Structure 1
Amino acid sequence: MKKTFLLALMSLSIALQFTYAQGALEQKNDPFFGESCTSIMVGKKATTDGSVITSHTCDGRYRTWLSIENAQKFDKKETHKVYKGTLKTETAWDQRKVELAGEIDEAKSTFAYLNTAYPCLNEKQLAIGETTIVGPEELVNDKGMFLIEELERIALQRCTTARDAIKLIGKLIKKHGYGDWGECITIADKKEVWQLEIFGEGPDQIGGVWAAQRIPDDHVGISANISRIGKLDLKNSDYFMASDNVFEAAKRLKRWDGKKEFKFWEVYGGVEKPFKIREFFVLNHFAPSLNLDFEADELPFSVKPDKKISVYDVMAMYRETYEGTQYDMTQNLKVIKKRYNDKKEVIGQDTVIAPNAHPWPTGNTRNLSNFLKEGTIEYQRTVAVSWCSYSFVTQLRDWLPDEIGGVAWFSFDNPGQSPRIPIYAGTTELPESFNYCGQKRFRADAAIWAYRKANKLATVEWQTTREEMMADVAHFETKGLEDGAILETKIEKLIKAGQKDEARKLLNQYTKDFTGATMLRWKELENKYWGKFGLGF
């Protein structure tokens, strides 16, 4: 009996790991794979508490290790090394396939920052989200020095405001060249949030083209792998910025004749229209009164929400899979459920969503379902995806000291299932398991697998596990915000008393304790689901 049970568990474990690896491979060959990140932005007058929000899902096989890089001071003669290839490393000291792209003058001093695959938050409450917007291949120049993640890194090291970050990035691109595909970074500070879109100028031109547009303070915006910036009103510098070659390069590259109305997304983005399902769903969700049309040629760049948005609302949007709407991938996955009386006699039946139906089917699952009955699952790119490396929702609050004003609500793996961990701008140490990437292969020492195992097991019978898992997610969100308010009061008092070292220690311990609590609960869920599904229930 014990041998049979252990064999069942081993078989399920192998199947789950194969499902994950196979799913990632299928996504790479899927035409939707380029839709690999989502960033939602909210201005300070659109949030319930006056915070500025930017966010990011890193969807794909990118590194999941993260660290805090300390502030530093440098000699005038020192240079800053710029690298390519850091997105796929397994640890901070893994140098496989990492190459030196060049060097630039080092700053006299730098700020501490949270070093994720796409660096995201510094100690001065400057935060950056990211989404790849691809664009035409003819614009790419891989000889340019900078990939987007390195531009983010330098901006966080050297800047305190979104405007300064945009200007610095523009100067670096012009001087040293942009070597990446089309990218959007959503840059926020304590006052405002901007969307910056960048493309190359072609394989024979060192430089790049870019445009930036500010999200109005009372609006919400989204970038989801499509260029969205349209008309450029460069006379209105409070809301628009662009590279000085933005129009000239378009003519030289024969992407614009100088007569037709100039729309950045149309000229450089290489798309038919500047939105797909995610942009439509998010904007329509927050501003239903606008009656946005999915069949429209263009949507507003940003919208004023019908009611103010809380950080809870943004977290919830990152769990979105469109269930209950016409875009629900589980809506046709139904079974008959019989109803019984006390005597175990059938007294009726209902048609219900199948217990094993979940909104993250692999390509093989979709193909099988559609082979059995055409049109059973129509693929939709959901906001939450199972191949996510990590995600964060960052709040920036100008009424608090920087150490606690900025907080990244961070999660590993599928944002539709995982809990969020608060990492404050003043944090200087992270848990040991954060040092290891688990996205390339299974590693027991990598933090992501503390959540992924339970998450994957939950999808075996998602219709019965979801309620419990979502209750735990909600518990930790509430705990983080409520306990965080108490912590922030303590930290503020310590900072005012000049006890910054004690404040940092308390912040570090809080993140470690919170991480430990979530890992313990997800381990309990994992064990529970192994016991349930390993026996064939």
Structure 2
Amino acid sequence: MGVPAVALAGLLRLAHGCTNLIVTPGASADGSVIFSYTADSGDLYGTLGHYPAGKHQPGETRAIWNWDTGKYLGAIDEAPYTYNVIGNLNEHGLAIGETTFGGNETLGGGEGIMDYGSLIWVTLQRCKTAREAILMFDELVSKYGYVSDGESFTIADTSEVWVMELIGKGRFEKGAVWVAIRIPDGHVSGHANQARIQKFPLRDAENCVYSSDVISFAVKVGLWDSQRPEEEFSFADCYDPISFTGARLSDARVWSFLSSAAADPGFGKTYEEYVLGHNVTASARMPLSIPAGSKISALDLMSHMRNHYEGTVLDSRHDVGAGASGSPFRVRPLVWKAGGSSYVHEREVGTPQAGWNFVAQLRPRLPRAMAGLLWFAPDDATFSVHAPFHGGTTRVPHGYADGTGDALHFSQESAFWAFNSVANFLYPRPGGEAWVQLAGDVLFNASAETDSVDVFIGHSWSAGRWEKFLAVCLFFNLDLAVRWSLGTCLVAAAILLARAREGMTGLGGSPLALPCLVYLPITVFFVVFFCGQHLRGQRSTSVWLDKLCIHQTNMDLKAEQIAALPVFVARSSRMLVLWDETYFERLWCNLELATFARHGGAEKVELLPLWLAPWLLASILSDLLSVTILEVLVHVFPNWSVGPDAIMDIARSVLGHNPALLKFVAWFVIWMISSIVYLPASIPSFFSFRMKLRNHQLLLDQMADFDVRKAKCTVPSDRNAIEQQVKELFKEDHRPMSWLPPEGVDEGEVSVNNRLSQLWLDPLDSFNAYVRGALRENVIRQIGKEPGSVLDPEKHGVHPTRAPNTD
């Protein structure tokens, strides 16, 4: 298509073009915030950068280098503590992407230290949430100045996503003007090298924030008429007016995504004239975000990053550059001339000029180390397979790391060169991208399976292995064993009834009655109890055994894995606690329980005492023994018949005719005989039941008096790391409490500092309260109340209105 000459200047912004596509939690398949970022420039070499977390001394500074040119810009004050950053994601699940829109040329080339790349990575190291990041951007550019062109930023955390647009003040002033809008939940959005925020609410701080001089500065430099109402002010129309290139080569990429995701099936057609560049008035522009028509997954977004306008009016497989094979791929430059006229190639989302790309999946209700997931791939998204990296990642694989090869020197060890080679091989071979996408889908689905665990099993390593084995069998197979044994019994009864109709007087007269109705069902019960996991169909239950994955000799690796353990606990659907007397005494066990408590909830914790399985099995075997003794007696004395009538005949000959006395004596004798038969079996049952009652009481007492500070840790150096993890998990539960002085102490004698320290619940006490309260109540619902007593909070020294002693 011919290009207006006035629009050619706008092509400069596309030299380092990028694309961001955005999905809010309400529009995503799993409730995550999801957005994509592709860094498109032939100058870029796709590696995954890493900034480790660190503590810094007062007065320490940080050097700032221009991210595009490598030029040294100056130094800024370092923060006291910086967070771990992997790529564009940090350990708290905060992720930032960008696209350059350039904007008014008079506002470029300002003086200062901060460029757009440094803004991103300095902020990621200092902030936990999107709202914090926006304020940090403002603080950095206000204090140190801004030297880059206009930028659109995607700033997202696990609960919300914002689009922030910022442009420098050129030679007029130091700093930048900006506006940030929260994308409504349930919406999709995007930006691609064209400012997208037009009018914005001036009095809705919850959903829109902006620099104090965003309008007044525009008036000062002659970009806005001060006589017009502020409510009509449009950031994009003022600082980056729409043009042919802005619509056709930039916003069209956003249009292709919004059209496929829109709830309104007519969205694409409505804005077709705009993206073709036929109507580039401000009133013709697309809204910043629209409601999604269906739920979108991270895998869906990866697929759209390979988009080449297939099936739309911009489908480049049908234009003059497609060739005989209908290729959508074009070499640069975007503008070419023929017959004195200028023409453009379409600028798609998936482009050969990409250095790298990613999909950030920011998941709520997970430990911060794994809340953020960065699906990263080098080179063109069309031919790249995305590998997952958590925000807590502390080492980059060699193939993805800085220093493994470079843009001018091929390396077989480099992931970039591997994907780049595949892409170059497939560009002239149509259809090859389908095979790459299939490989990516397989990896994504396989990662989803390993990313979640059905049951996390926590236990004390000092407990007996046999008891734990029985408990695990009970948890997984008891229900199946009962159903199979009952089914066997019903089938056996049906067969015996059929045999009885053939001439037997009843089941009791059949020698098969006892084996069929007792021994066979119980045998089936035990077989399924111990082996039922093999009978549950195609998908087996995935199980994680507590700290089995933690290295016990390499101390550095051990420390990292301690920090990562909550990742696996929190991704478990259920937690099975194999309780014995030492469980709550183990600090490791408390860490696992605290993690799941925070992310899974008390109702998903199943606390299984190790005495329960032996007690249950002992009861079954004792009953079986009783039946067997009775059957042996019947076979030893086949002519012996004992019943109320026979006993009454004997008693009548001795006591005479007294109906009431005779009936009593007859039943008493039968009870005595039955007791003698059941006595051998009742002895082990008695001791088993007594053990059950004792441990039942002990379990509930331990939970009522629980204190994580009293837990033991085999390696003393592990204690601080583990307790810190527990504090991190429960620090949000710092709730003010009604303060009372310690018993026997006058309120006036207590220092102000001591009093204030007791007004807030320590995170460790929050965890203690959880075990004593919600978790204990859940256990009571599962196994019953304390034997022989009524629950009394005061019995265990629990005073809800008194702050815990912090001394």
TM range (shorter): 0.7 to 0.9
Aligned twin of 1:358: 327
Residue correspondence of structure 1 range 13-52 to structure 2 within 5 A: 33-34=14-15, 36-52=17-33
When Rg is computed on C-alpha atoms for both structures, the one with the higher figure is 2
Residue correspondence of structure 1 range 383-394 to structure 2 within 5 A: 383-394=349-360
Aligned twin of 1:286: 261
- The C-alpha deviation readout for 1:24-55, integer Å capped at 9, x for no partner, is xxx99966734710011111111111101122
Kindly, what percent of the aligned residue pairs are identical?
Answer: 30
Distance between the aligned counterparts of 1:190 and 1:495, measured in 2? Answer: 30
Residues 1:201 and 1:307: Cα distance change in structure 2 (over 3 Å): same
Structure 1 range deviating more: 480-489 or 443-452: 480-489
Q: Report the Cα offset of residue 323 of structure 1.
A: 2.2
Q: CA RMSD in A?
A: 3.4
Letter of the structure 1 residue corresponding to residue 560 of structure 2:
D
Query: What is the SS of the residue equivalent to 2:381?
Result: coil
Matched, 1:98 2:66: no
Distance between the aligned counterparts of 2:565 and 2:353, measured in 1? Answer: 33
The one of 278, 285, 288 equivalent to 1:301 is 288
- The C-alpha deviation readout for 1:29-88, integer Å capped at 9, x for no partner, is 96673471001111111111110112210000224233321111111221222222x446
Letter of the structure 1 residue corresponding to residue 181 of structure 2:
Q
What TM-score comes out, normalization by structure 1 length? 0.75
Q: Report the Cα offset of residue 494 of structure 1.
A: 5.6
The one of 244, 251, 266 equivalent to 2:237 is 266
Distance between the aligned counterparts of 1:30 and 1:240, measured in 2? Answer: 30
Matched, 1:400 2:370: no
Query: What is the SS of the residue equivalent to 2:74?
Result: strand
Distance between the aligned counterparts of 2:235 and 2:103, measured in 1? Answer: 11
Distance between the aligned counterparts of 1:358 and 1:325, measured in 2? Answer: 15
Letter of the structure 1 residue corresponding to residue 296 of structure 2:
I
2:25–2:32 contact (8 Å) kept in structure 1: yes
- The C-alpha deviation readout for 1:332-357, integer Å capped at 9, x for no partner, is 5799xxxxxxxxxxxxxxxxx844x4
Residues 1:491 and 1:111: Cα distance change in structure 2 (over 3 Å): farther
Letter of the structure 2 residue corresponding to residue 459 of structure 1:
Y
2:336–2:344 contact (8 Å) kept in structure 1: no
Aligned twin of 2:560: 501
Aligned twin of 1:155: 123
Aligned twin of 1:128: 96
- The C-alpha deviation readout for 1:225-260, integer Å capped at 9, x for no partner, is 110111121310111111111111000110000234
Distance between the aligned counterparts of 2:336 and 2:346, measured in 1? Answer: 14
1:36–1:132 contact (8 Å) kept in structure 2: yes
How many pairs were matched up?
A: 445
Distance between the aligned counterparts of 2:382 and 2:243, measured in 1? Answer: 29
1:148–1:180 contact (8 Å) kept in structure 2: yes
Query: What is the SS of the residue equivalent to 1:246?
Result: coil
Structure 1 runs not aligned, ≥5 long: 1-26, 89-96, 336-352, 509-537
Structure number with the higher strand fraction is 1
Matched, 1:109 2:81: yes
Query: What is the SS of the residue equivalent to 1:198?
Result: strand
Residue correspondence of structure 1 range 180-329 to structure 2 within 5 A: 180-260=148-228, 261-272=232-243, 275=247, 276-287=251-262, 288-291=264-267, 292-296=270-274, 297-329=284-316
2:111–2:170 contact (8 Å) kept in structure 1: no
Residue correspondence of structure 1 range 454-465 to structure 2 within 5 A: 454-463=422-431, 465=432
1:141–1:202 contact (8 Å) kept in structure 2: yes
Residues 1:226 and 1:35: Cα distance change in structure 2 (over 3 Å): farther
Aligned twin of 2:783: none
Distance between the aligned counterparts of 1:259 and 1:304, measured in 2? Answer: 35
Query: What is the SS of the residue equivalent to 2:218?
Result: helix
2:550–2:562 contact (8 Å) kept in structure 1: no
Distance between the aligned counterparts of 1:49 and 1:459, measured in 2? Answer: 34
Higher relative contact order (CA 8 A, sep 6+): 1
Residues 1:461 and 1:494: Cα distance change in structure 2 (over 3 Å): same
Distance between the aligned counterparts of 1:488 and 1:63, measured in 2? Answer: 42
Q: Report the Cα offset of residue 358 of structure 1.
A: 2.2
Aligned twin of 2:64: 82
Letter of the structure 1 residue corresponding to residue 197 of structure 2:
I
Q: Report the Cα offset of residue 173 of structure 1.
A: 1.0
Residues 1:358 and 1:491: Cα distance change in structure 2 (over 3 Å): farther
Structure 1 range deviating more: 357-366 or 205-214: 357-366
Letter of the structure 1 residue corresponding to residue 330 of structure 2:
P
Distance between the aligned counterparts of 1:492 and 1:403, measured in 2? Answer: 20
1:401–1:492 contact (8 Å) kept in structure 2: no
Letter of the structure 1 residue corresponding to residue 48 of structure 2:
L
Q: Report the Cα offset of residue 98 of structure 1.
A: 3.4
Distance between the aligned counterparts of 1:387 and 1:105, measured in 2? Answer: 36
Distance between the aligned counterparts of 2:425 and 2:55, measured in 1? Answer: 47
Structure number with the higher helix fraction is 2
Aligned twin of 1:54: 35
Q: Report the Cα offset of residue 419 of structure 1.
A: 0.5
Matched, 1:428 2:406: no
1:494–1:502 contact (8 Å) kept in structure 2: no
Q: Report the Cα offset of residue 437 of structure 1.
A: 6.7
Aligned twin of 1:73: 55
- The C-alpha deviation readout for 1:335-390, integer Å capped at 9, x for no partner, is 9xxxxxxxxxxxxxxxxx844x421121489969x89xx99x96211010001000
- The C-alpha deviation readout for 1:291-329, integer Å capped at 9, x for no partner, is 232335111110111112111111111010112322111
Distance between the aligned counterparts of 2:13 and 2:100, measured in 1? Answer: 13
Distance between the aligned counterparts of 1:333 and 1:48, measured in 2? Answer: 39
Distance between the aligned counterparts of 2:105 and 2:312, measured in 1? Answer: 35
Q: Report the Cα offset of residue 106 of structure 1.
A: 1.7
Letter of the structure 2 residue corresponding to residue 76 of structure 1:
P
Aligned twin of 1:449: 417
Letter of the structure 1 residue corresponding to residue 107 of structure 2:
L
1:76–1:108 contact (8 Å) kept in structure 2: yes
Structure 2 runs not aligned, ≥5 long: 1-7, 275-283, 457-542, 552-557, 568-807
Letter of the structure 2 residue corresponding to residue 447 of structure 1:
A
Residues 1:266 and 1:492: Cα distance change in structure 2 (over 3 Å): farther
Aligned twin of 1:530: none
Aligned twin of 1:382: 348
